[in-house]
Chains A and B, each alone.
Chain A
């Protein structure tokens, strides 16, 4: 059956000239610089072609004219004097030194081709790894680039792939699909659509969506829903603004989400508050789950989570009573060794309360391109696919995740042997959209040691970063979103949009190229058959083929919406065979998960105490008596980006640690003083903010810090402060038993005052 796509009727064409002589280009702001989302924007350029203003596009149902600080101020980023504007190379023996020589694009491509192709011929394509950053506009392009080169080793440089992957892979195993909250984002007429219903409850679990805007969720939709009556429950060690508007706030100890979720299951089952019809018809293993969670009384969970039992009960009852509940889970679920169990337990709450494919609950949107699975899988030789690093150790990762296991990739680089103990020489790396040395990876010193064993490393970015300064031999200058063509086809509820070039600086002699252009041009050299297109627009059109529209047509009518319906499991639309039910072995949501059982994992969620914790390692806790969570988001700085953008930096100038009164008193801390957070693994400098919103005994810090303004650019001079201020020195590569999750958000530290 042919799909009916819905488009937007715009008042103006995609490009027009105003009465004031400004050219307006409508498009999408899929970053960098910026975030995950891809809001609808209007880019204003003057007679000289200079970008002078960006506005939110009110005709775009996604953001409806709204825009956050980063896009409003994008001009400061586009025209920043520190932008990389030409390819550069450096002798590998000068890694870490600011000793770059400008070269042409052709010279850079020739050099990269010669090196990578040499490795491919001598050691096999799997000797080159392809590193990407967070899920912005990268997954389709880098997977096709890596797989068509012949390497199965495309990597997200994070221990345990602790961002989104665990939740997505876990939901696929347990339910056969992935679920997102229903904020009406699938409907062109949004909150006015008659099929939509206001969620009665939104459970904000381990994220601050207003700031993080992750996974296709425009954070302020939560506020839109609050105005329409949605109640909020927050689960967070910090009493964020949403918590102060919530029915219940659960100030959880980081890393104990599985215990919290099982106590909620205990209450919902034992008080007979679950959705009997859904459980009987559509779930598998309910009796086993019910027996399994008996030990997780709210009183037991209180001891583990530090949240009063009656609050857990209250939250569970509110969730169970809701007709339409969104589980707005965040990256905190992933950033723990217990990620798979935590995600599984939360999914069990979702299932037994019937919040599955329901209005105002959790929905399962269709895709044009299942972007997080990558693009071009058929290009990879199945024999080479078997050589993906880490797969034999982690069957769940092997089955359910599109990238190689990062921890094992680093081990392989270090030792020359893969997880099976076989020789696997690693020779080269490609680094794209990622500053993982300061942002993503734990243990930066280990990472540097590993990377220095590689013979050749090429990178592409908007700015010189500590990662590139320390690790790369060639760097290419990337185009920012106003400078490039592209498509917005990403996470959450997918829509087809175009990213349209409004700025072209080639007349100034500045030839920055989009990631997609570079992947296509270089990819064509390595494997011409994989890139039959002469330009990016044709490449994009091939992805849009299903819509029956070319790039140029989508540009005029975007966003293009896919058909949507609720309760697809009742009509056979979730399974390829057309049978009713879910796309799992049993056709049901597997509370008792047959796949996990087959992988040698727990078929029911099991809570495990974090590796370094007040209870697991009490002697460490005596020495390091603060539970620290990292990765706290702020309004203006996206991960390690924006540190050099003046207006953005002014909103959050310093790396901070938020401490509650009891920690401030214990260490005699004053607001605004600089301290060192330290444990057995490392240390980092932070500025103290005494903050009553933090739960007692728990501190929180932000990540991704470096100082682009620093004179000390080289490794010898501090690498832009990248190591001294790096909170990821406080833990090691140490993933959960499924291969997913690492304790990024729950570690033990002490606080040292800095003697001036």
Chain B
């Protein structure tokens, strides 16, 4: 079974909360974390249509907070604190259904379990 994180990037605002939640809980140096937000934009596609997307990228540092750094509700610190509520953790098989439910999402398959 593979665990992963689903990102609804339509609403990611680029607030850096996931990065800092991770860096603080894992005691990582500046600008290093298990999740790093990338930005594409802002540039004009056509009149009044703009490309402006933030996308959290999960790095090889991410251990899904297996090292005892989870929030008290058992989810990784980034997921617990995400201000736009765009991160969801689960089994990839289940998350695939959520992925199909709306556009502008991406699914990270992160870790084999069991």
Bind each other: yes
Q: Does chain A have a CB within 8 A of B99?
A: no
Q: Does chain B have a CB within 8 A of A241?
A: yes
| B60 shortest CB reach to chain A, Å | 21
A53 to B16, CA, bound (A): 17
Q: Does chain A have a CB within 8 A of B83?
A: yes
Q: Is the CB of B80 within 8 A of A68?
A: no
B residues 71-114 touching A (CB-CB < 8 Å) = 71-73, 77, 80-85
| A220 shortest CB reach to chain B, Å | 4
Residues of A within 8 A of B13 (CB): 210, 220, 223, 241
A224 to B31, CA, bound (A): 28
Q: Is the CB of B16 within 8 A of A239?
A: no
Q: Is the CB of A210 within 8 A of B20?
A: no
Q: Does chain B have a CB within 8 A of A528?
A: no
Residues of B within 8 A of A244 (CB): 41-42, 50, 52
Residues of B within 8 A of A90 (CB): none
A176 to B48, CA, bound (A): 39
Count of chain B residues near A, Cβ 8 A: 33
| B31 shortest CB reach to chain A, Å | 6
Residues of A within 8 A of B20 (CB): 69, 72-73, 647, 651
A244 to B54, CA, bound (A): 12
Q: Is the CB of A692 within 8 A of B11?
A: no
A268 to B68, CA, bound (A): 58
Q: Is the CB of B17 within 8 A of A67?
A: yes
Known contacts: A72-B81, A224-B85, A239-B50. The answer to whether A635 contacts B15 by CB under 8 A is yes
Kindly name the residue among B13, B16, B54, B83 whose own CB sees the greatest number of chain A CB atoms within 10 A: B83
Selected from A72, A226, A241, A693, the residue in CB contact (under 8 A) with B21 is A72
Q: Is the CB of B30 within 8 A of A646?
A: yes
Q: Is the CB of B52 within 8 A of A650?
A: no
| B77 shortest CB reach to chain A, Å | 8
Q: Which 8 A-B pairs have the closest CB atoms?
A: A650-B30, A244-B52, A69-B20, A220-B83, A244-B50, A223-B84, A67-B81, A693-B42
Q: Which residues of A are interface residues toward B (Cβ below 8 A)?
A: 18, 20, 24, 42, 53, 55-56, 58, 65-69, 72-73, 75, 210-211, 219-220, 223-224, 226-227, 239, 241, 243-244, 249, 635-636, 646-647, 650-651, 692-693
Q: Which residues of B are interface residues toward A (Cβ below 8 A)?
A: 11, 13-17, 19-21, 23-25, 30-31, 41-44, 48, 50, 52, 54, 68, 71-73, 77, 80-85
Can you offer 27 A-B residue contacts whose CB atoms are under 8 A? Answer: A18-B72, A20-B68, A53-B24, A56-B80, A65-B71, A65-B81, A66-B82, A66-B85, A67-B21, A67-B81, A68-B15, A68-B83, A73-B24, A210-B13, A220-B13, A220-B15, A223-B11, A223-B13, A223-B84, A223-B85, A227-B11, A646-B30, A647-B20, A647-B24, A650-B30, A692-B44, A693-B42
